[in-house]
A and B are shown apart, each in its own frame.
With several copies, the nearest count.
Chain A
């Protein structure tokens, strides 16, 4: 339940959604003009999911992400400076330039990293939850994954393991209804991905992923359950990506896969606009206050760009750094 006393939380939600939006607007632009290289998968349109879900977590709880994961770390509290620097492959980036866009991580705030391979991080998230349980801690682990990734075997195994071991895991499925160019209806046999929770005797709910508070409440209930030792849950957030799968991919399409109307319809349910309106309606803040938050977010991303651009490239001597904790003469092999 949302409480009037949570004003600062509600404003912080807006701020983080705006940070993600502006971060990814910048990322798409940078990629389009080849100022950054590699793949960029924009999270634009889906911000309420990461922000609502992470708002239910503590700093020392764990998350893992996927290829479309600039939003998750920002929602969890990562620095936009270091995230942006990573997109530039700079030494000041979270992964010192080793990871790039698809592999942000900040272990200091529980972000155990992102996987470019679908489903691959789910077992890792389950393992973090296992560690939490074995040490009698109450840390919760939250893997984010897409509708497409839900078809990987790793997903099944992870859910069953979490269920039989009653681990503190909240599986957050971001059903943006597409896997690259395929509609979820053609790839998943059930109506709601949350229906699959029944196969593991765990709660499964489908929630409006454009409503940050709805996500926050559904995920919050699952987190509370997990923290109380009652085991895992699956929360499916129905959302939408405004852009094509990855920057530049639109040009490669030989057949359209969705129509402009559909995109327009979803843009009318923009998560930031919805939350902004709710804040105004509820009298939580004035339009000026919200505009100021937006301006601050824009400034933070400008600063992040500046930070990233002026940061040094990694030095060739750093190539092998981080491969092992206790290095071997890897260049010998």
Chain B
């Protein structure tokens, strides 16, 4: 077991997969340099053809990646979700639809690394959390790890997948450090992890919200409320069984998501639970998500936008009360 940062775990996974399979290559904005972290240094080992810097032409390179995948390569694309709006047509109409629309002819092994950056005082243009938007689009697989071990294991799985995977990297966990198993460690898609066991309330938290939920659980434990915290790890496929089983046990449900609240993952999970575990519910489901406003630059204001420990604790109390 080595200790690695989340970010270094992804670097390891990329290296491992690039060494293993010559059809894997890296492309994106400034990937040779380390300015966005993770990919710096890979160029020295793998050279120009496998570490390809792209111009600011996201429609072009997002589409080129899926085209290269259709032609037999396995691209890893590096970008930030904030820059992907300009390429949205390629995600919706090519990446997600190409295989289905052509009756299954295409095989599209491509990974899009999506930096999800928030709580950084970067203001509205650089602070999106669009994962629920991508979840609304069939044909994609969506991963959002929260620990270094999962980052490593899920990344390798993503590269080996024959379907397009959006690999969401929550900026608030990039510096987390943790133990990473030796060997060819992989983590399957669609299997949730129970981060803390509990009996009174189930929290399902997405990405960076897992840490905040664990902190809230800790605080609530002191009050005698036992909280189970589940990290779904992949949003598509989603481990609905694990979630429903936990609610069957606890009877109470809180979903925590960094995305804007309306039509968020929190909404989706609450709907799921209220529809399929209704008879188990002892209190109202609770959404804790971002306020429906753009992240302002001002740190004083920005921190009001996202879920935090306090809001999660309150939500748990509401569902208990």
Contacts and interface: CB of A to CB of B under 8 A. Distances in A.
B237 A328 contact: yes
B102 A103 contact: yes
B100 A333 contact: no
A322 B103 contact: yes
Task: Say which size band chain A's interface belongs to.
Answer: 35 or more
B293 A89 contact: no
Interface stretch (A229-237, A263-271, A290-298, A310-318): A310-318
B100 A323 contact: yes
Nearest to A121: B94
Given A126-B64, A134-B49, A107 B106 contact: yes
Contacts of A129: 67
Interface string B126-142: 10000000000011010
Given A62-B71, A124-B66, A124-B98, A103 B55 contact: no
B242 to A, nearest CB: 13
B278 interface: no
B57 interface: yes
B304 interface: yes
Contacts of A38: 120-123, 297
A177 interface: no
Interface string B240-274: 10000000000000000000011000000000000
B40 interface: yes
Contacts of A93: 103
Nearest to A91: B298
Interface string A150-164: 011110111011001
A319 B34 contact: no
A153 to B, nearest CB: 5
B64 A130 contact: yes
Contacts of B104: 96, 321-322, 325
Interface string A180-216: 1110001110000000000000000000000000000
A125 interface: yes
A161 B28 CA distance: 12
B71 A132 contact: yes
Given A157-B59, A319-B301, A330 B32 contact: no
A9 interface: no
A117 interface: yes
Contacts of A94: 102-103, 105
A97 interface: yes
Contacts of B294: 98, 323
Interface in A89-128: 89-90, 93-103, 105-107, 112-113, 115-128
Interface in B72-119: 72-73, 82-83, 85-86, 89-90, 93-94, 98-108
Interface of B: 25, 29-30, 32-35, 37, 40-41, 43-44, 49-50, 53-73, 82-83, 85-86, 89-90, 93-94, 98-108, 120-126, 138-139, 141, 161-163, 189-190, 236-238, 240, 261-262, 291-294, 296-301, 304-305
